[in-house]
Amino acid sequence: MAPVYFTPGPAQLYPTVAQHLQNGLDKQVFSLSHRSQAFKDLYRKADEGLRALFNLPQGYAIYFTGSATEIWERSLQNLTAQSSFHLVNGSFSKKYLSHAQWLGRQAQAVQVPFGEGFDIDALAVPQEAELLAITQNETSSGVCMPVQDIHALRTYFPEPLLSVDMVSGAPYAALDFSKVDMAFFSVQKGFGLPAGLGVWLVNERCREKAAQLEGQQYTGGHYSIASLQEQYTQFQTPCTPNVLGIYLLAHVVEDLLAKSIAVIRQETEAKALKLYSFLEESALFSPFVQKPQHRSPTVVVANVEGRPAAEVITALKTQGLVVGSGYGAFKDRQIRIANFPAVSEADVDQLLIALKKL
Amino acid sequence: MAPVYFTPGPAQLYPTVAQHLQNGLDKQVFSLSHRSQAFKDLYRKADEGLRALFNLPQGYAIYFTGSATEIWERSLQNLTAQSSFHLVNGSFSKKYLSHAQWLGRQAQAVQVPFGEGFDIDALAVPQEAELLAITQNETSSGVCMPVQDIHALRTYFPEPLLSVDMVSGAPYAALDFSKVDMAFFSVQKGFGLPAGLGVWLVNERCREKAAQLEGQQYTGGHYSIASLQEQYTQFQTPCTPNVLGIYLLAHVVEDLLAKSIAVIRQETEAKALKLYSFLEESALFSPFVQKPQHRSPTVVVANVEGRPAAEVITALKTQGLVVGSGYGAFKDRQIRIANFPAVSEADVDQLLIALKKL
C-alpha cells in the first residue's frame, strides 16, 4: 500500500489527480500556447468551477500567481499606500506582517500567543488601516478563525479592505465572500494538487483601490491588479502561467463540485471530530489549541507528551502514515495532521488505530 | 499520430517527460514536504545537473521562481538602485525595460528595429548603468545575439552587472558564464517541460551588489537575493516551490547530459540549417531576420508571402504540425518555428515536407 500523506502541504494528492495528469498529457495540454482559445477555455473552466465552489458574488475576479506567498506581496503593493493591520497568531500571519514592513508600510498588528485565536469583540483596528489582514487558518499552529468571526469583522470594521489568507482552510471554510474583499490560497493544501500555483480572489472594492494607487506607486508591474485584471477579462494571464496547475485545478474543482461542497464540509467535520475526540482522551497526545471554537478542522495540531515527536512520526511512517512535524520551535513536541478532502474517513480511521497503539 | 508542437513555448514536451511524471506520481514526490531531506536532495540534483549542463563556474547559485518574468522584476529590485541599460530589439527585451521604468529606475536603452540584432562594436553604455540587460534570444522576432558578442560586452563594459535573458536560448546557447553575472530562463521552452518555473543563475558579484542594497530599498521580501541565497545554501526555497517542475527539470537535465550538450548543440544547428536553407529557397517563405549571424537557431521566424499566415498554420495543423504564429503585429504575416531539443530531426524533416507542399 502506498503511504498516505497527512502532511499540511504539500499534501496527499486528490485521488483523481493522476488520471487528470494522464489525460492532460494525452491531450498535449501542456504544450498549448497560453494565448490560445484552448487555454482561455481552460481558465474559464477553472473560473466557473471556483465561482460555484466558493459561491462567489458577481464582481469577483480570479487571478493566478506562482504561490500564496506572492499574494501577500501583491495585495500589499496594490491595496495599501500607507498602512495595514494584521491579526497575528502564528508564523504565516507573521510573514504577511513582515512583508508589509519590508514594503515600508506602517504595519500594525495585534498579536496573541501561538496556539490561540482572537476575541473579535475586544478587537480595535486603527482608523487609518487600509487593509485588515487575517489568517483564516494558521497552518503553523492549527488555529482557525470561525467564519462567523470573519463576517463580524466586516460589521465592526467596514472601512479597511478585508484580506483573508485561507491557504490551508480552502475549500472547507464556508466564507461569505460578500463580507470580505479578497481571499487567497495555494493548491497544495485542501485541493490536493502539486505545489506551484496561488489563487487570488479579488472583488471590485479592491480593484477600485488598486486603480487609485496605480501610477502613484509601484504595484508589481506585470503582476499588478491592473495588469492581472486587464488580462483576466479575456481569461488570459500577463505571463506564461502554470498551465498544468490550472488544468488540474479546473478538473479537481469539477470533481469536488460533483461530490458537493456540503458533503466535503460534513466529511471534514466528521473526520475532525474523530481526531480531536481521540486527542482529548489520549494519554500520549493532547490538542494543542485549547479553545474548541478555535481548533482547525483542516490542520489538527497535537502535543506529544513524554516522548520526542520525531519518534511518533517515524513509528507512523513505518506503517505508511505520514504526518507533519510541529512548526518551528514546536518541531520536537508536536505533530500536525492535515485533514484535507484528499484524506478519506477510512484513512483517518487507519491513522487513529495506529495512534492508539503507540 | 499525436501532433508535434513547433511552438516557441509552451512547446513540445521532451520525450521523457511523461515517464518522469509517472515515476514522480508513483513515488509520491508531489506530496513531499519542501522542508524534507528528500526535497533537498531533489534541489541538489537539479543544481548539480544544471551546473554540469551550463558548465557554471564555482560561486554561481541557482534559484527557482514562478516564471522568467518574475526574474526581470527581482533582478532589477536586487541589483539596481538607480539605473539600468537595456538592449531592446523585440517584445521581451522591451518588457524588461518596462519593468525597470515601472520600478522608477533611470532606465535607458538602445533600440533597433524588430528583426535586427546589435552591432556590439558600435555600442555605448552609460557609465552609471548598474545593470546591462540583454536578451540572448528574442522569442518574438527570432533574433539571436551570438555568444561571442555577449562575451565581448564584458570586455567592452566590465563595470555593469551583465544580465542575460536566455529564456528561449537555453540550453543551446554556449554561454561562458564567467563572462556574465546572471542569466535566466523558463522551463517551457528549450527544456521541453510544462510551464510554471523560472530558473535564475546568479554569481557572487550579483550577491555582493544585492547585499549592498539590502536594507536600503525594497528587494522583494521573501524573493530577495538575500532570502533566496540564505535558503539556497541548504537547498531550500523561501516558500513552497513548484516541486513538480523542479523534479521534471532535474530528470530532463539528466537526460540531456546523458545525450551530451555537445550533441544537442550539433543537432540544433543541423536542424536550424535545414530550416533556414528551405526558407532561403522557398517562394512562399523567407527568413525574417536578414543577417545570418543574428538568426536564432532555436526560434526560426519566417515571413509568409502572398497569403495569410493563419492559412499556413491551419494547413499544417491538419497534418499534425503545430507552428507558432508571428508575434503581436506580425501575427498575420509570419510564422515561428521552435527548434528545441524536444523536436527531432525526423520531426523537422516532416515539417519541411509539409512546408514544401504548401
- Across A303-328, average pLDDT: 96
Backbone φ, ψ for residue B218 (5° rounding): -75, 125
Quick check: B75 and B63 in contact, CB under 8 A? Answer: no
A87 forms beta bridges with: A110
Whose grid coordinates read 482552510? A169
- For A206, the 3-state DSSP assignment is helix
Q: Exposed, middle or buried by CB within 10 Å (0-12, 13-18, 19+), for B189?
A: buried
Provide the shortest C-alpha distance from residue B58 to chain A (in Å). 29
**Does residue A1 belong to the interface with chain B, where contact is any CB pair within 8 Å?**
no
Contact list in A for residue B220 (CB cut-off 8 A) is 73
Smallest CA-to-CA distance from A239 within B173, B91, B219, B102 is with B91
Quick check: B328 and B337 in contact, CB under 8 A? Answer: no
**Residues 6 or more apart whose Cβ sits within 8 Å of residue B203:** B57, B59, B60, B61, B177, B180, B181, B182
Residue B1 confidence (pLDDT)? 81
Instruction: Say how far apart CA A122 and CA A130 lie, in whole Å.
Output: 20
Quick check: A309 and A333 in contact, CB under 8 A? Answer: yes
Residue A232 confidence (pLDDT)? 98
Fold of A4-12+261-357: Aspartate Aminotransferase, domain 1 (3.90.1150)
- For A320, the 3-state DSSP assignment is coil
Binary contact (B12, A31; C-beta < 8 A): yes
By residue count, chain A amounts to 358
pLDDT less than 50: residues of chain B: none
- Across A270-281, average pLDDT: 98
**3-state SS string for chain B:** CCCEEECCCCCCCCCCHHHHHHHHHHCCHHHCCCCCHHHHHHHHHHHHHHHHHHCCCCCCEEEEECCHHHHHHHHHHHHCCCEEEEEECCHHHHHHHHHHHHCCCEEEEEECCCCCCCCHHHCCCCCCCCEEEEECEECCCCEECCHHHHHHHHHHCCCCEEEEECCCCCCCCCCCHHHCCEEEEECCCCCCCCCCCEEEEECHHHHHHHHHHECCECCCHHHCHHHHHHHHCCCCCCCCCCHHHHHHHHHHHHHHHHHCHHHHHHHHHHHHHHHHHHHHHCCCEEECCCCHHHECCCEEEEEECCCCHHHHHHHHHCCCEEEEECCHHHCCCEEEEECCCCCCHHHHHHHHHHHHHC
CA B175 to chain centre: 12
Chain B residue at shortest CA distance from A167: B240
Domain ranges of chain B: 4-12+261-357, 17-258
**Does residue B238 belong to the interface with chain A, where contact is any CB pair within 8 Å?**
yes
Spatial strand order in the sheet of B131-135: B61-65, B198-202, B182-186, B161-165, B131-135, B83-88, B106-111
B87 forms beta bridges with: B110
- Determine the Cα angle at B26 with ends B19 and B4, to 5°: 20
Tell me how crowded residue A217 is: count the other CB atoms within 10 A of its CB.
Answer: 12
Count interface pairs A-B at CB distance under 8 A. 155
Instruction: Say how far apart CA A180 and CA A163 lie, in whole Å.
Output: 7
- Round the CA-based radius of gyration of chain B to a whole number and report it: 20
Contact list in A for residue B80 (CB cut-off 8 A) is none
Sign of the torsion formed by the C-alpha atoms of A299, A305, A309 and A311? negative
CA distances (Å), A133 to each of A47, A73, A130, A167, B108, in order? 24, 12, 10, 13, 38
Q: What is the mean pLDDT of chain B?
A: 97
Q: For residue range A208-254, what is the model confidence (pLDDT) as tens digits?
A: 999 999 999 999 999 999 999 999 999 999 999 999 999 999 999 99
**Does residue B320 belong to the interface with chain A, where contact is any CB pair within 8 Å?**
no
- Across A340-354, average pLDDT: 98
| Residue A159 exposure: Cα atoms within 13 Å on the Cβ side | 11
Sign of the torsion formed by the C-alpha atoms of A347, A348, A353 and A355? positive
B84 forms beta bridges with: B107, B131
Spatial strand order in the sheet of B4-6: B4-6, B321-325, B334-338, B299-304, B285-287
Residue A172: pLDDT band with limits 50, 70, 90: very high
Instruction: Say how far apart CA A182 and CA A201 lie, in whole Å.
Output: 5
Binary contact (B2, A243; C-beta < 8 A): no
Helix residue ranges per DSSP H, A120-213: 147-156, 204-213
**Does residue B107 belong to the interface with chain A, where contact is any CB pair within 8 Å?**
no
Residue A1 confidence (pLDDT)? 81
Helix residue ranges per DSSP H, A191-323: 204-213, 225-232, 243-259, 261-281, 309-318
Binary contact (A196, B241; C-beta < 8 A): yes
Contact list in B for residue A69 (CB cut-off 8 A) is 222, 238-240
DSSP code of residue A168: T
Q: Exposed, middle or buried by CB within 10 Å (0-12, 13-18, 19+), for B179?
A: middle
Provide the shortest C-alpha distance from residue B155 to chain A (in Å). 32
Instruction: Say how far apart CA B7 and CA A36 lie, in whole Å.
Output: 11
- Determine the Cα angle at A79 with ends A229 and A142, to 5°: 100
Smallest CA-to-CA distance from B199 within B169, B178, B226 is with B169
Smallest CA-to-CA distance from A279 within A347, A346, A358 is with A358
**Does residue B330 belong to the interface with chain A, where contact is any CB pair within 8 Å?**
no
Quick check: A9 and A188 in contact, CB under 8 A? Answer: yes
C-alpha cell at A212: 487609485
Model ipTM value: 0.98
- For A295, the 3-state DSSP assignment is strand
> What kind and span of H or E run contains A101?
helix A91-102
**Does residue A32 belong to the interface with chain B, where contact is any CB pair within 8 Å?**
yes
Binary contact (B34, A195; C-beta < 8 A): yes
Provide the shortest C-alpha distance from residue B219 to chain A (in Å). 8
Instruction: Say how far apart CA B211 and CA A129 lie, in whole Å.
Output: 32
Tell me the CATH class for A17-258: alpha beta
Contact list in A for residue B3 (CB cut-off 8 A) is 28
Tell me how crowded residue B357 is: count the other CB atoms within 10 A of its CB.
Answer: 8
C-alpha cell at A332: 520536537
Quick check: A108 and A126 in contact, CB under 8 A? Answer: yes
In a mutational test of the A interface, the residue from B16, B19, B30, B340 whose CB has the highest number of chain A CBs within 10 Å is B30
| Residue A337 exposure: Cα atoms within 13 Å on the Cβ side | 35
Tell me how crowded residue B251 is: count the other CB atoms within 10 A of its CB.
Answer: 23
In chain A, pLDDT over 90 holds for what percent of residues?
Answer: 99
C-alpha cell at A73: 506581496
Q: For residue range B194-240, what is the model confidence (pLDDT) as tens digits?
A: 999 999 999 999 999 999 999 999 999 999 999 999 999 999 999 99
Quick check: B173 and B297 in contact, CB under 8 A? Answer: no
Whether omega before B8 lies within 30 degrees of 0, making that bond cis, reads no
Binary contact (B69, A324; C-beta < 8 A): no
Whose grid coordinates read 555600442? B123
DSSP code of residue A183: E
